[in-house]
Amino acid sequence: MNLFDVYPLLPITLTHGEMCRVFDNQGNAYYDLYGGHAVISIGHSHPHYLQRLQEQMRKIGYYSNSVGIPIQQQVADKLGKLSNYDEHQLFFCNSGAEAVENALKLASFHTGKSEVIAFKKGFHGRTSGAVAVTDNPKIQAPFNQCHQVSFHEVEQVDTVRERLEAGNVAAIIIEGIRGVGGIYVPSSWFMQSLRNLADKYEALLIIDEIQSGFGRSGKFFAHQHQNIKADIITMAKGMGNGFPVGGILIDQKIKASFGLLGTTYGGNHLACAATLAVLEVIEEEELMAHVATAGAEWKSALAQCPGVVSVEGEGFMLGINFDFPIKDIRRQLALDRYILTGVSANPNQIRLLPTLNLGKASMDHFVDQLTQAVKSLELV
Ligand X SMILES: Cc1ncc(COP(=O)(O)O)c(C=O)c1O
- Binding part of the chain for ligand X, among 48-56, 119-127, 221-229, 296-304 by CB under 6 A, reads 119-127
> How many residues are given for the chain?
380
What is the distance, to the nearest Å, from the Cα of residue 294 to the centroid of all Cα atoms in its chain? 19
> Which residue from 33, 53, 69, 100 is in contact with ligand X, where contact means CB under 6 A?
100
The β-bridge relationship of strands 29-32 and 21-24 is antiparallel
> Which residue from 56, 83, 211, 341 is in contact with ligand X, where contact means CB under 6 A?
211
- Minimum CB separation of residue 180 from ligand X in Å reads 5
Q: Which residues pair with 117 in a beta bridge?
A: 150, 172
**Which string of DSSP letters, residue by residue, matches 298-332?**
HHHHHHTSTTEEEEEEETTEEEEEESS--HHHHHH
Write the CB contacts of 309 (distance below 8 Å, at least 6 apart in sequence).
321, 322, 323, 348
Q: Is 115 in the site for ligand X (CB under 6 A)?
A: no
- Minimum CB separation of residue 204 from ligand X in Å reads 17
| DSSP element (H, E) containing 284 | helix 269-284
In the bound state, the residue with its beta carbon closest to ligand X is 96
Residues 220-249 that bind ligand X (CB under 6 A): 236
- Minimum CB separation of residue 133 from ligand X in Å reads 10
- Binding part of the chain for ligand X, among 44-52, 204-212, 292-300, 371-379 by CB under 6 A, reads 204-212
Residue number, 96 or 307, with CB nearest to ligand X: 96
Residue number, 123 or 316, with CB nearest to ligand X: 123
> Which residue from 210, 270, 276, 373 is in contact with ligand X, where contact means CB under 6 A?
210
Residues 157-196 that bind ligand X (CB under 6 A): 175, 179-180
Binding-site size, ligand X (CB under 6 A): 14
Residue number, 121 or 124, with CB nearest to ligand X: 124
155 dihedral zone (left: phi>0; alpha: psi -120 to 50; beta): left
Residue number, 211 or 349, with CB nearest to ligand X: 211
Contact 303, 310 (CB under 8 A): yes
Residue number, 207 or 282, with CB nearest to ligand X: 207
Residue number, 347 or 359, with CB nearest to ligand X: 347
Residue number, 143 or 258, with CB nearest to ligand X: 143
Q: Nearest 5°: phi and psi at 319?
A: -120, 120
Residue number, 113 or 124, with CB nearest to ligand X: 124
| DSSP element (H, E) containing 165 | helix 158-166
CA–CA gap between residue 16 and residue 379 (Å, rounded): 34
> Which residue from 97, 107, 302, 356 is in contact with ligand X, where contact means CB under 6 A?
97
**Which string of DSSP letters, residue by residue, matches 101-112?**
HHHHHHHHHHHS
CA–CA gap between residue 34 and residue 363 (Å, rounded): 13
The binding site for ligand X (CB under 6 A) comprises 95-97, 100, 123-125, 175, 179-180, 208, 210-211, 236
